[in-house]
Chains A and B, each alone.
Chain A
């Protein structure tokens, strides 16, 4: 058969050499300062419409041009934060959900896993996952946030912090499971029960005491996240979800619930996750994550060019719905309401956006959220007055970003509220 024009092989061969340089230039242009380019730049054809593309695949993967990552510290005791600045919408991709473990990530065979429910119940029972899936399921969006989220930024508000470093122990998922109150009805919970102990099946066998009123309110036992089973690092095959409450109490790899009449005072609710207060005391059982927001773009390490920009970020409250997010583009002198996405969902992340124009003059951007209980994000100064500089958890003060005249963006909490 006669051919005209280049062969398929020639098209690809020619494309490789030319495209590699073009891609490298485009990447350098698009990458924010300080970000690491991929180790090997992807090779693309000059004209993708002239080359048959790739085959179908069993499991999808991201474009080689999009390579987000958590920030693992490489310890079984460590954290790995969500890259908030790379996210859109309200849902965190499951493989980017932040991590915090206390005995590493266990490998659990779901067929062997059991949930034991005992103590102050009429019918001490052990459930398989299939048993739990016989309960009417519910699916709801909720955030999980570590109680210590923001600690590093509060202690040392360095200008070179990114949204991931400031608040990356926050993630938002669509969870599927069953209301815990249904399970407690099934086992015939004793009316005298006021607390329950939740225990994980990991090497920490992590335990937390939970007031029964929360279990009867909006608590869930979840087995799925964003349309598929939980991931090992988010609790596979079963976790407790207490909407709006500090991350640690949402016990992963859940294997046991014991009903009782007093809190157990485990290490995780005494030595940890308590808040020292002025006046020689410490607050315990401070479960709710208070109202909070952060601008995730523009943020460090972006470099802005003068012109139109969208200011965007996340807001959330462990006490209910977000009603308002206000943005200031003049160091807090004036505030304007941002548009919200997802605000109908309580205890779930809201996306806020506000059109803005960078005019090449130095300024400071801030966001300030209000929730339906009327709680408003405090300033760093206000927060410190209430809690003191030595407190460790539940930082939710206003976050600020400084945009310099040359377009560089830096974290500004240390400068604004020195």
Chain B
């Protein structure tokens, strides 16, 4: 136990003993403090693999066909992006046919089930915490373009997930990005072009500091 934690528990104990809360104790009670620190650095965590694990030998070697069928995730370095290309114009036609019935003709969404996709306001700042009326969209909130490709191929269209080809997925990704004025209206996307896309919200995200 750290000294600060011990002090906090002591304060709690005093509260209980006195049967009432003091302002001094309240002042110490800032939310987002006192907790277990989170860190992306595994060295800060003590848990390890079981050292003396005796293999059970259960399971079968992964079937390469299953790996090929299931391992289609795309990470931020572009690993997993398939060959293929699509244009924003092709994406517009696909969007009208397969997406607009839920997400709206212009990507305005149909809350609460079907979120808005398009919207750049506010152009300055990132004031989502102070203004609950700002709707989070791909254009103003998504930090990575690769997430868009991954999610469309993974889960869209909602009523026929997994039905889009890589070319169609590139095209739809291009249309959503173009509608958000992130790529030009005549954009052509393939894996290399997608990796060059700069998202407006990139760099806005910070790791959890609660409890630090």
Q: Which residues of A contact B (CB under 8 A)?
A: 75, 77-78, 102-103, 114, 116-118, 123-128, 131-132, 134-135, 155, 181-182, 184-186, 189, 194, 197, 199, 203-207, 211-213, 216-217, 255-256, 258, 260, 262, 264-267, 270-271, 274, 276-288, 290, 319-320, 323-324, 326, 332-337, 370, 372-376, 378, 382-383, 386-391, 396-397
Contacts and interface: CB of A to CB of B under 8 A. Distances in A.
A126 B68 CA distance: 13
A216 B46 CA distance: 9
Range, interface on chain B: 35 or more
A194 B42 contact: yes
Nearest to A382: B31
Interface of B: 4-5, 7-9, 11-12, 15-16, 19-21, 29-36, 38, 40, 42, 44-45, 47-50, 53, 55-56, 58-63, 66-67, 70-71, 73-77, 113, 125-134, 136, 138, 141-144, 146-147, 150-151, 154-155, 158, 161-162, 204-211
A216 B51 CA distance: 12
Contacts of B67: 116, 118, 124
B205 A274 contact: yes
A326 B42 contact: no
B76 A264 contact: yes
A390 B12 contact: no
A388 B31 CA distance: 12
27 contacts: A116-B67, A127-B59, A182-B50, A185-B53, A186-B56, A207-B73, A216-B45, A216-B47, A216-B49, A262-B77, A264-B150, A267-B150, A279-B129, A281-B204, A282-B206, A283-B208, A286-B210, A326-B15, A326-B21, A372-B9, A373-B8, A373-B35, A374-B7, A374-B12, A387-B129, A389-B132, A390-B132
A323 B10 CA distance: 11
Given A280-B127, A335-B19, A374-B12, A270 B205 contact: yes
Among A281, A332, A336, chain B packs the most CB atoms within 10 A around the CB of A281
B113 A390 contact: no
B207 A184 contact: no
Given A126-B61, A335-B15, 5 more contacts: A78-B113, A213-B42, A270-B144, A281-B205, A387-B129
A203 B60 contact: no
Contacts, number: 260
Contacts of B205: 270, 274, 281-284
Contact of A125 (B33, B61, B77, B207): B61
Nearest to B74: A264
B54 to A, nearest CB: 9
B66 to A, nearest CB: 6
A199 B42 CA distance: 22
Contacts of B143: 265, 270
Contacts of A204: 154-155, 161
A17 B34 CA distance: 63
B4 to A, nearest CB: 7
A370 B136 contact: no
B115 to A, nearest CB: 8
Nearest to B155: A204
Closest 4 CB pairs of A and B: A374-B8, A388-B129, A213-B45, A276-B128
Contacts of B20: 333-335
Contacts of A211: 40, 42, 45
B208 A285 contact: yes
Contacts of B207: 283-285
Given A124-B62, A282-B206, A389 B147 contact: no
A283 B128 contact: no
Given A116-B70, A262-B75, A285-B38, A216 B32 contact: no
A332 B22 CA distance: 11
A260 B75 contact: yes
Nearest to A328: B21
Nearest to A368: B21
B12 A266 contact: no
B76 A390 contact: no
Contacts of B53: 182, 185-186
A378 B30 contact: yes
A285 B143 CA distance: 14
Contact of B206 (A186, A213, A284, A326): A284
Contacts of A278: 129-130
B38 to A, nearest CB: 7
Nearest to B44: A213
A125 B62 contact: yes
Nearest to B114: A77
Given A116-B62, A184-B49, A375-B35, A324 B70 contact: no
Given A131-B58, A186-B56, A326 B16 contact: yes
B151 A266 contact: yes
A288 B70 contact: no
B159 to A, nearest CB: 9
Given A116-B67, A286-B210, A124 B147 contact: no
Contacts of A337: 16
Nearest to B51: A185
